Amino acid sequence: MKAQFITLEGSEGVGKTSNLEYIKSLLDASGIDYIVTREPGGTPLSEALRDLLLGHDYKGMADDTELLLMFAARAEHVAKVIKPALEKGQWVLCDRFTDATYAYQGGGRQLDVQRIEGLEQWVLGDLRPDLTLLLDAPVEIGRERAGKRSEPDRFEQERDAFFNRVRDCYLARAEVEPDRIRVIDASGDLASVQQQIKQIFDPLLAS
């Protein structure tokens, strides 16, 4: 099987980072060669852009600037990390990717989706994730989980209405692409979430 490009998505605090560890354990048990990376980030330049995007130095950043910086970080990440890994036959496990731009900048910030599509085509060409796990839970649950951590970043300061638009946009995308975007009910405990993830990975790892 060709190296798989797998992304994890969901609104804040749904458990992407926690479940990445579980997915790594499944890939390890199957002897798969893979890398783990994240967006925005994944290269020194993209991580520097992440700091600008998530930090509080530029609180009044224009929405278009935010969108363009997300894609600038992605262009570097795709060219330097994602494409080289896939070409070498390594699977890529990425915490967030372009679906997050549709959800946050398209849904949350309500930017024109056609602009996002244009940037996606320019920066990615034909590259798309093979599989996307969408961890879904009501916004209040994610916020409560995330709230137990340190100071909120620039996105985490947004109101519930913003995160409800983000969630709705993710779910709408999953309805359009049900084969690629697999929705996981992330509102239950970790064991129940991991059981659903295993059901998706078992056939993939057996093929």
Tell which residue, 49, 8, 19, 46, has the closest CA to residue 145: 19
Which residue from 36, 146, 200, 204 is in contact with ligand Z5A, where contact means CB under 6 A?
Answer: 146
Q: Give the residue ranges of DSSP H helices in 78-159.
A: 83-87, 98-101, 113-124, 139-146
Q: Does 126 bind ligand Z5A (CB under 6 A)?
A: no
Q: Does 96 bind ligand Z5A (CB under 6 A)?
A: yes
Paired with 36 in beta bridges are 93
Q: Cβ of residue 19: shortest distance to ligand Z5A, in angstroms?
A: 7
Q: Does 104 bind ligand Z5A (CB under 6 A)?
A: yes
Q: Does 196 bind ligand Z5A (CB under 6 A)?
A: no
Residues 170-189 that bind ligand Z5A (CB under 6 A): 186, 189
Q: Cβ of residue 26: shortest distance to ligand Z5A, in angstroms?
A: 16
SS3 176: helix
Tokens of 49: 């852009």
Q: Are 120 and 169 in contact (CB under 8 A)?
A: no
Which residue from 27, 39, 76, 106 is in contact with ligand Z5A, where contact means CB under 6 A?
Answer: 39
Distance, in Å, from the CA atom of 72 to the CA atom of 76, rounded to the nearest integer, reads: 7
What is the contact surface with ligand Z5A in residues (CB under 6 A)?
A: 10, 12-18, 39-40, 54, 70, 95-96, 100-101, 104-105, 145-146, 148, 155-156, 186, 189-190, 193
